[in-house]
Amino acid sequence: MANLGGAREWARAFIESHLTEGAKVIDATMGNGHDTVWLAKLVGETGKVYAFDVQPEAIANTKKRLEDENLLHRACLYLKGHENIGLTVRSMVDAAVFNLGWLPGFEKSVRTKCDTTLSAVNQALSMLKIGGIMTICVYPGHQEGDEELKALTEWAQNLNEKQFDALIFRYANISKKPPVLIAVTKRK
Ligand SMILES: C[S@@+](CC[C@H](N)C(=O)[O-])C[C@H]1O[C@@H](n2cnc3c(N)ncnc32)[C@H](O)[C@@H]1O
């Protein structure tokens, strides 16, 4: 890890500075549940985390992790692709967290894909409350990751500046394509 941290740490710092007790949050890529548990702690007893993944193992691992911390009641776990967020979560949300790619230690072929990622970030954006935030950690260096970074960079650059603030955080001088953070807040 470089001294200035990495995409996941930057994402966590942004989310932690925005969320308060009672927040509703989407975890669009549940994976092993590390982010779901972290978010469940942040939203407190009155908040809710809506977490999505396409792999049964992700649900099982996340459920176990939440149970171990007595946090399961703060989360709704969906065995669905995040391209179904809009049909599934029926309320506006304070934040949406995307951590793209594949589940470490599992089948790499089950990974996020450009088309469904774009669909999901657009759905999540339309569900963000004013003042809400979305973070997207993107992992270039393999085909889908490179495609996602290109498409999401264009997507972020084209967001209406009157309605959104969009940032792209990346290292300027590291050649081996470290993860990139895209963060968007809804201004109005
Ligand atoms: C890098 S991992 C997420 C790590 C996770 N946030 C954590 O804290 O452990 C990416 C996850 O995205 C999931 N994924 C792939 N396609 C998806 C889709 N269409 N919708 C939701 N999740 C998807 C993968 O199964 C994988 O678990």
**Domains in the chain, CATH or no CATH each:** 7-186 (3.40.50.150)
Taking the chain, what is the end-to-end CA distance rounded to the nearest angstrom? 36
Q: Using CA positions, which residue lies closest to atom 4 of ligand 1? A: 31
Q: What is the mean pLDDT of the chain?
A: 95
CA of 32 to the centre of ligand 1 (A): 8
Residues 52 and 27 sit within 8 Å (Cβ to Cβ): yes
pTM for the predicted model, two decimal places: 0.97
Q: Using CA positions, which residue lies closest to atom 24 of ligand 1? A: 102
Unique residue bearing structure tokens 């951590």: 99
- Strand order in 180-186's β-sheet? 75-79, 48-53, 24-27, 93-99, 128-138, 180-186, 164-169
The 3-state secondary structure of 98-152, one letter per residue: EECCECCCCCCCCECCHHHHHHHHHHHHHHEEEEEEEEEEECCCCHHHHHHHHHH
Is the pLDDT at 159 greater than 80? The verdict is yes
Half-sphere exposure of 172 (CA within 13 A, CB side): 0
Q: To the nearest whole percent, how much of the chain has pLDDT over 90?
A: 89
CA of 100 to the centre of ligand 1 (A): 6
Residues 54 and 110 sit within 8 Å (Cβ to Cβ): yes
Pocket test for ligand 1, best of 27, 112, 116 (most atoms within 8 A of CB): 112
Question: Would you say the CB of residue 79 lies under 6 angstroms from ligand 1?
Answer: no
Nearest to 77 by CA among 124, 20, 27, 123: 27
Task: Write out the H or E segment, with its range, that includes residue 51.
Answer: strand 48-53
Unique residue bearing structure tokens 């669009």: 28
pLDDT tens-digit profile of 65-102? 999 999 999 999 999 999 999 999 999 999 999 999 99
| 109 compared with 94, residue with greater pLDDT | 94
What are the CA-CA distances from residue 122 to residues 42, 118, 119, 152 (Å)? 24, 6, 5, 11
In sequence order, the 6+-apart residues with CB closer than 8 A to the CB of 116 are 81, 82, 83
Question: Would you say the CB of residue 98 lies under 6 angstroms from ligand 1?
Answer: no
Looking at residue 106, its pLDDT comes to 77
- Which atom of ligand 1 is the closest one to the Cα of 36? 8
CA of 162 to the centre of ligand 1 (A): 31
